[in-house]
């Protein structure tokens, strides 16, 4: 009864469904992989973000190497800010508003320096493409607690004078005449003494997994529905063929019972309100 499935047309439909289902499975697995990456980030945030700050020890927890499992770990440094080599990273939105991140080298007692991201500034009103004012960091020796973040790759776009397009540490190292630790930078958590005015502090990263799991299940369901749709179409085609060649099963038609004369008389009386 289903020999028509071996025809070229239906084999083509089957091939199309297989390709569609494979695509749905691939997209579902992609969403699962994205969820796994997000879950791994959440684990790092929960383990490191609010941990007790580590005291900086050269060669032990410096920023010349980066271990992804230690991202967001707070480390406390003592040094002085190099305001002369301060810069801002452009195209840094926060809560849907465009702006900048202020990057200032912190010169340490061992002769090296680390980049400290001191916070966010909105786009200015006085001059397009620049913040109105960059708050000055504390002068003199300062105790800084910053969270470990990896440096960024270069990007293929320019930036105005005094700005950078990405936090690329090797490129920043070329701007200074002292060794700059070049694998990671610090996201400011605390300054002592505090500056009179500071940029907007970076918010705590989200620990929401997002919709990746539900999206993956939807893609898997779409793949199953493709086969269900093909099976339904095949069943309908079998019925059409059976009706055309006369092999369709003759189901008895249920006859409606004719009302008796007494029932007809009762209905007439009911309609006239006599009963």
Give me the DSSP letters along 121-152.
EEPPSSSTTS-S--PPPPPSEEEEEEEEEE--
Above 80 in pLDDT, residue 266?
no
What is the β-pairing status of strands 113-122 and 184-192? parallel
Mean pLDDT of 264-275: 64
Question: Cα(15)–Cα(123) distance, rounded to whole angstroms?
Answer: 54
Bridge partners (DSSP) of residue 143 are 78, 192
Above 90 in pLDDT, residue 9?
no
Cα 76 to Cα 27, 161, 188, distances in angstroms: 43, 31, 10
Q: Residue 22's closest CA among 228, 227, 235, 261? A: 227
Q: For residue 21, what pLDDT is reported?
A: 94
Q: For residue 77, what pLDDT is reported?
A: 96
Q: For residue 88, what pLDDT is reported?
A: 93
Q: For residue 125, what pLDDT is reported?
A: 81
Q: For residue 239, what pLDDT is reported?
A: 84
More confident residue, 56 or 266: 56
- Give the model confidence (pLDDT) of 183-224 as tens digits: 999 999 999 999 989 999 988 998 888 899 999 999 999 999
Above 60 in pLDDT, residue 268?
yes
Mean pLDDT of 29-54: 93
Task: For the chain, give the percent of residues with pLDDT over 70.
Answer: 89
């Amino acid at each position: 009864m289903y020999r028509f499935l071996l025809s070229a047309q239906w084999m083509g439909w089957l091939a199309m469904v297989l390709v569609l289902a494979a695509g749905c499975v691939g997209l579902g697995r992609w969403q699962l992989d994205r969820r796994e990456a997000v879950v791994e980030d959440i684990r790092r945030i929960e383990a490191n973000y609010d941990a007790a700050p580590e005291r900086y020890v050269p060669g032990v927890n410096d920023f010349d190497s980066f271990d992804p499992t230690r991202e967001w770990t707070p480390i406390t440094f003592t040094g002085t800010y190099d305001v002369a080599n301060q810069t801002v990273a452009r195209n840094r939105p926060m809560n849907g508003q465009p702006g900048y991140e202020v990057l200032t080298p912190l010169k340490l007692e061992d002769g090296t320096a680390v980049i400290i991201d001191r916070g966010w500034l909105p786009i200015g009103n006085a001059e397009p493409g620049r913040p109105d004012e960059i708050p000055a960091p504390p002068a003199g020796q300062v105790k800084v607690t910053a969270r470990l973040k990896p440096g960024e790759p270069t990007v293929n776009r320019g930036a105005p004078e005094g700005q950078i397009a990405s936090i690329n540490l090797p490129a920043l190292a070329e701007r200074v005449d002292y060794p700059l630790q070049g694998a990671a930078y610090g996201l400011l958590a605390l300054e002592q003494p505090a500056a009179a005015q500071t940029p907007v502090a970076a918010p705590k990263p989200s620990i929401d997994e997002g919709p990746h799991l539900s999206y993956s299940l939807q893609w898997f369901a779409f793949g199953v529905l493709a086969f269900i749709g093909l099976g339904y179409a095949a069943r309908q085609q079998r019925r059409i063929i059976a009706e055309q060649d006369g092999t369709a099963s003759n189901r008895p038609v249920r006859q409606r019972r004719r009302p008796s004369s007494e029932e007809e008389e009762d209905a007439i009386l009911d309609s006239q309100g006599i009963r």
